[in-house]
Amino acid sequence: MCGGIGFSYSDIKKDELSDFYTSDEINEFKRDGEVRSYFWQKRPVLPIIVESGIKLFDWGNRDKNIKLPKTGWARIESVIENKWKYLHPTEVIILARRGYEKKVWFDIKNGIKGLLVERDGREVVYMITEKADKEFMANIPHDRMPLLSEAG
């Protein structure tokens, strides 16, 4: 799977980061040149391209009071079977440079495919996953992996 991502600090406006992170966290990201977001954080985020540039969105849903799937991931099989259709999702590209799973970081070349959904004024992004290939499973012992974008 992919429980964390790293993305370029320089791609995100500081005021956008300040909506989600403390000034100490932002200073660390600036120093490292990379923002790291993990699904288990208090408020995980995913960066996607929108008309106005790059914007951060909440990563999935963990709130039982919000009528959205209680997860951060969408299996490609369920997307193909139209199980997400009732949410009128928009396919997006998550601008991750690296992924994190099972204490292992791995490189991501062109981002990860995701679904942007909106319900009751709340917009969230779910990361699309697929069955892990042999190369992924040799490095990360998980049967699912992020669906990578082919766009460059």
Q: Is residue 86 part of a domain?
A: yes
Closest CA to 41 of 64, 13, 22: 22
pLDDT reported for residue 151 = 64
Report the pLDDT averaged over residues 119-129.
94
Give me the domain span that covers residue 34.
Answer: 4-146
In angstroms, the CA 64 to CA 35 distance is 27
Asked whether residue 23 carries a pLDDT value surpassing 80, the answer given is yes
pLDDT band at 152 (very low <50, low <70, confident <90, very high): low
Q: Is residue 58 part of a domain?
A: yes
Asked whether residue 34 carries a pLDDT value surpassing 70, the answer given is yes
Asked whether residue 130 carries a pLDDT value surpassing 90, the answer given is yes
What is the three-state SS of 20-63?
A: CCCHHHHHHHHHHCEEEEECCCCCCEEEEEECCEEEEEEECCCC
Domains contained in the chain, number: 1
Reported as a single tens digit per residue, the pLDDT across 35-88 is 999 999 999 999 998 888 899 999 999 999 999 999 999 999 999 999 999 999
pLDDT reported for residue 67 = 92
* Residue 134 dihedral angles phi and psi, to the nearest 5°: -60, -40
Q: Is residue 124 part of a domain?
A: yes
pLDDT reported for residue 148 = 96
Amino acid at 56: L
Reported as a single tens digit per residue, the pLDDT across 74-116 is 999 999 999 999 999 999 999 999 999 999 999 999 999 999 9
